[in-house]
Amino acid sequence: MPKKILILDTSILCCWLRVPGKDTAGNAQNRWDHNRIDQLLVAERARGSLFVLPIASMIETGNHIAQCTGDRFNLATLLTNHLQSTVDALSPWAAFTDQSALWEPPNLQELAATWPQLAVGGTSIGDATIKHVAEHYSKAGYEVEILTGDEGLKA
């Protein structure tokens, strides 16, 4: 079993795919761009890490692609290639079904009960679900890192 899980949030996924207007993320001290992300993912893949594509990241990135000024078809194809790899559990992507428990009624009820207070603090519902994905893998015994340009989500 791989020891490390890398969860790609929307900001990182958009940078990695080079979505126009979303091709950098983070602050001046922690700037992300395509090259930095690509180098990190190549190194982590070589170490045997698994990559996780949360549903929220996929949906939000898809929205940014559909609204961008770039080549929407090619960007959408790149995103859906990664989605297909998660569906098929092709290395280095973790199986999409690993997240399915998070969408069962008790977990959605917990999200409904806890998210309004998180929203007061500025946490989006997408970020709340990414946090749940991270907790899910952590409880399963993995070392988890959320790749994000959002310092609040990183915390």
**Any domain includes 154:** no
- Segments forming the whole domain that contains residue 33: 4-149
CA 28 to CA 47: how far, in whole Å? 28
**Any domain includes 82:** yes
pLDDT in tens, 18-61: 999 999 998 888 899 999 999 999 999 999 999 999 999 999 99
Give pTM, 2 decimals: 0.89
The structural domain count of the chain equals 1
**Any domain includes 89:** yes
**Any domain includes 40:** yes
Nearest Cα to 114, choosing from 97, 138, 142, 135?
A: 135
pLDDT in tens, 66-117: 999 999 999 999 999 999 999 999 999 988 777 888 888 998 999 999 999 9
**Crossing angle of the two packed helices 72-87 and 10-17, in degrees rounded to 10:** 120
**Any domain includes 55:** yes
**Any domain includes 121:** yes
The band of 152, judged by pLDDT with boundaries at 50, 70 and 90, is low
**Any domain includes 136:** yes
Nearest Cα to 146, choosing from 73, 16, 53, 36?
A: 53
39 exposure class (CB count in 10 Å sphere: 0-12, 13-18, 19+): exposed
CATH number of 16's domain: 3.40.50
**Any domain includes 106:** yes
